[in-house]
Amino acid sequence: MSGLAVAAPEQTTTPRPVRRRGSYRWSARGFSLPAVLVVAVLLYLPFLWTTWISFTEYNGLGSPSWVGLDNYRAMFDDPNFLTSLRNTLIWVVGSITVPVGLGLLIATLSYGMRFGSWLRLPFLIPYAISGVAVGVVWRFVLQNGGGLSQALDALGLPGADSRWLSDAPLNTIVMIGAAAWQQSGVNALLFVIGLQSIPREPIEAARLDGASGWRMFRHMHWPMLRPLTTVVVGLSLVASLKTFDIVWVMTKGGPGRNAETLAVTMYEETFVNSAYGAGSAVAVFLSVVTFLAAITYLRRQLSAERTV
């Protein structure tokens, strides 16, 4: 509601619009305000509280007591923090290569083909299946001697006796596979939207010039896909840094915490140990890293995009 109160006087104070760029200042603000408002109030404000808690010792009851940087110091001294950091990095690298690459492959192969959208469907269904069922099914597949081992055995391939979810870093790698299973279709869908927005004329012209297959993709589609590539990579970057659900559901962090990611460490400190301060410190660290990674990537991509 405060949005109305703030914006209402603006209508009367703004001059009649003319066709200069500056004159859209107020309507530009009006269009942007709802997004800023809703995100600021419901996401930033609560996180401010978390940030404050990270400088305190707090078990969720009574009042937090200020401890300055103690939680951060303890975090960097904890050997498990390094394991978490390493696993998180594997997740980032894995997520921006495998599901993004597969998404791009699926999108470019299926786009423009007859029944292409139907061939794409098998990749989208995993995303539509609810988490409860996905968790159970992947436990079928990945537990020792489970579906994956049985399949390898039947095909005469090695690795059937691997302990998929117990040994590091194998457990992280197979979970990245499971995540790719869910995410590739979504990425493909986003790439398809990008392909749809590519104008037909230059493509036709290139085709008449004899371009096809890989060369067509490399020189025509790929540069024009850039805005949506930014979307897909940007989202994967952020999501992979925050990886939690699948690790928690499949392994609870793995034997001896060997599959733990930063988000799992954060969750364990806060919700299992009720050490809200320590958990919040990890959350703040994680958010800052994610934010810096996202802003660095987006700035480079978006400024490059403008020069194209």
Residues within window 144-203 making contact with other proteins, judged by CB under 8 A: 144-147, 150, 163-166, 181, 184-186, 189-190, 192-194, 196-197, 199-201
Contact pick of 69, 109, 205, 304 for other proteins (by CB under 8 A): 109
Question: Which 77-96 positions form the footprint of other proteins (CB under 8 A)?
Answer: none
- Residue 76 or 207: which CB sits closer to other proteins? 207
Question: Which 262-301 positions form the footprint of other proteins (CB under 8 A)?
Answer: 263, 266-268, 270-276, 279-280, 283, 286-287, 290-291, 294-295, 298-299
CA angle 48/53/55 to nearest 5° reads 110
Q: How far is the CB of 295 from other proteins (least distance, A)?
A: 6
Closest CA to 275 of 93, 64, 126: 64
Reading phi first (left if > 0) and then psi (alpha if -120 to 50, else beta), residue 101 is in: alpha
Question: Which 5-24 positions form the footprint of other proteins (CB under 8 A)?
Answer: 7, 10-11, 14, 16-17, 19, 21, 24
- Residue 97 or 150: which CB sits closer to other proteins? 150
Of 65-73, 82-90, 92-100, 113-121, which segment contacts other proteins by CB under 8 A?
A: 113-121
Contact 38, 245 (CB under 8 A): no
- Taking the C-alpha atoms of residue 144 and residue 161, their distance in angstroms, rounded to an integer, is 7
- Residue 40 or 93: which CB sits closer to other proteins? 40
Type of residue numbered 260: E
Q: How far is the CB of 305 from other proteins (least distance, A)?
A: 7
- Residue 35 or 157: which CB sits closer to other proteins? 35
- Residue 19 or 68: which CB sits closer to other proteins? 19
By CB under 8 A, tell whether 211 contacts other proteins. Answer: no
Question: Which 224-253 positions form the footprint of other proteins (CB under 8 A)?
Answer: 227-228, 230-231, 234-235, 238, 241-242, 244, 251-253
Question: Which 36-75 positions form the footprint of other proteins (CB under 8 A)?
Answer: 36-47, 49-50, 59-62
Counting residues that bind other proteins (by CB under 8 A) gives 141
Q: How far is the CB of 285 from other proteins (least distance, A)?
A: 11
- Residue 90 or 276: which CB sits closer to other proteins? 276
- Residue 76 or 271: which CB sits closer to other proteins? 271
- Indicate the angle between helix axes 70-77 and 79-110, nearest 10 degrees: 80
